[in-house]
Amino acid sequence: AQRVTQPEKLLSVFKGAPVELKCNYSYSGSPELFWYVQYSRQRLQLLLRHISRESIKGFTADLNKGETSFHLKKPFAQEEDSAMYYCALTWFYNQGGKLIFGQGTELSVKP
């Protein structure tokens, strides 16, 4: 079965420090991975997806199929990055286009 694991419930860093939010997945085929973010009092929204290979708000994520990981990274954290982050997985021929989410990691960036 498909599974997404985010091992850290809470990650606390100081402003300007590097950030890495870990995501590991379980799927034997070719997955598509996403990061979603939920800022305080805002809707859950897409941050980035691996096929786009883009950097959004300074965040990047690389799909490592060998390690089945899709870690989210940012070299210099900002206070406005404080939010709940979810890693999510989908796959080809997925009826209904379902997304499977991880448990979420709360990022707290301190001044």
Partner 1 sequence: DAGITQSPRHKVTETGTPVTLRCHQTENHRYMYWYRQDPGHGLRLIHYSYGVKDTDKGEVSDGYSVSRSKTEDFLLTLESATSSQTSVYFCAISESIRDRGLSGTLHFGNGTRLTVT
* Identity of the residue, 66 or 93, whose beta carbon is nearer to partner 1 in the bound complex: 93
Residue 99 found at the interface with partner 1 (CB under 8 A):
yes
Residue 86 found at the interface with partner 1 (CB under 8 A):
yes
| DSSP for 34-102, written as a single string | EEEEE-TTS--EEEEEGGG---BTTBEE--BTTTTB--EEESS--GGG-EEEEEEEEETT-GGG--EE-
The C-alpha torsion from 48 through 29 and 71 to 57, rounded to 10°, is -10
* Identity of the residue, 16 or 57, whose beta carbon is nearer to partner 1 in the bound complex: 57
Pick the binder of partner 1 from 49, 71, 77, 107 (CB under 8 A). 49
Residue 107 found at the interface with partner 1 (CB under 8 A):
no
The least CB distance from residue 84 to partner 1, in Å, is 9
Structure tokens belonging to residue 46? 């897409």
Residue 71 found at the interface with partner 1 (CB under 8 A):
no
Residue 29 found at the interface with partner 1 (CB under 8 A):
no
d(CA 24, CA 103): 11
- Contact 4/27 with Cβ under 8 angstroms? no
Residue 6 found at the interface with partner 1 (CB under 8 A):
yes
Residues that bind partner 1 (CB under 8 A): 4, 6, 9, 32, 36, 43-46, 49, 86, 90-104
